[in-house]
Structure 1
């Protein structure tokens, strides 16, 4: 599968860009059981996104120490910043692909040369510059770091949705950054007007 940057840099926005996917009870892949996924790119070339309700035990300051981002050797040219960062930046499991790599999904008040817009409000940055900026209190106003991502080959996501594996609805920024991971699944369903007990009778899009 092509890289996530390739998809975002040369794509036209697809019908599911900026949407949530909610796993149905019949989801066969246990890795996606009761997941909420934010779709950041969808086209005839495939789709990719990030799981939003799988927190990781590692803390941001631990990650900074592991990567030695606070080392004097890690000098850099600061990117353009317009906001402040949260003091304890959340880290989550983004999906089963490329799990050794980190991505930051964030508000559009942080921009660097490697930052890619996902929709009108959210951006994605996948370089260490943003981690260093966050550690210095110069990062985005809102954001989450995601380890790995979820991806689908051409036509795969459409096939899964036609088989009643996912429901979809437009994403809400407040839910993307909501720290209540355990409540996100039911909260997205509530936005759709669906009670969990109704899911077995639902098909297709919400």
Structure 2
């Protein structure tokens, strides 16, 4: 049996026939994958509010409100009331209280102190803020992959942080040499 930890730092691309409204047309970054399951953030679905609005709700005063106009993302259907900051780690994991090192270059922080730093203009250079996350129990993601609900490919820093959200899914598919618009929504079995 293949190890079940191979999807960490990978993109999951939803296939056109994936009908679950939580995941249809999504690009998900897998932050962790082990025998206990998998966790990731949807990185191409905006929540409909700018970061400035979230900071205001948390009573954080942004030094540069214009700099906080990037969107907040809907990270997934689990714990939608919790915030997750996916970010670059150019200076190491930083002083944040709760940072999980996904790779040497990418961290996931769940503590409020990173949002406080972003409000002061002192956070990481590259970041995205998401509410909620995507989670799978043991073997669940592997089963979904075997049902052809997802494609996977290595994560790409530029796609994740520097590309408009609406272009990310097709850009990730292009890494695989696929045009998602040409795939049918009907699954076939040989």
- Mapped contact 1:19–1:170 kept (Cα < 8 A): yes
Q: 1:185 to 1:199 in 2, by over 3 A?
A: farther
Deviation of 1:40 after TM superposition, in Å, equals: 0.3
Show CA shifts across 1:71-116 (max 9, x none).
Answer: 9xxxxxxxxxxxxxx9224311100000011000000035123222
Q: Paired residue for 1:14? A: 5
Q: Distance in 2 between matches of 1:52 and 1:114?
A: 20
Q: Paired residue for 2:146? A: 162
Q: Paired residue for 1:61? A: 52
Tell me the SS of whatever aligns to 2:11: strand
Match of 2:81 among 96, 100, 107: 100
- Where does structure 1 differ by over 2 angstroms across 4 or more consecutive aligned residues? 198-203
Deviation of 1:180 after TM superposition, in Å, equals: 1.4
Tell me the SS of whatever aligns to 2:46: coil
Q: 1:194 to 1:179 in 2, by over 3 A?
A: closer
With the length of structure 1 as denominator, give the TM-score of the two structures: 0.79
- Mapped contact 1:178–1:184 kept (Cα < 8 A): no
Alignment of 1:5-154 (within 5 A): 14-70=5-61, 87-88=67-68, 89-109=70-90, 111=94, 112-154=96-138
Q: Distance in 2 between matches of 1:63 and 1:23?
A: 28
**Does residue 1:171 correspond to 2:155, yes or no?**
yes
Deviation of 1:59 after TM superposition, in Å, equals: 1.9
Tell me the SS of whatever aligns to 1:132: helix
How many pairs align? 177
Question: Between Structure 1 and Structure 2, which shows a larger proportion of strand residues?
Answer: 2
Deviation of 1:178 after TM superposition, in Å, equals: 3.2
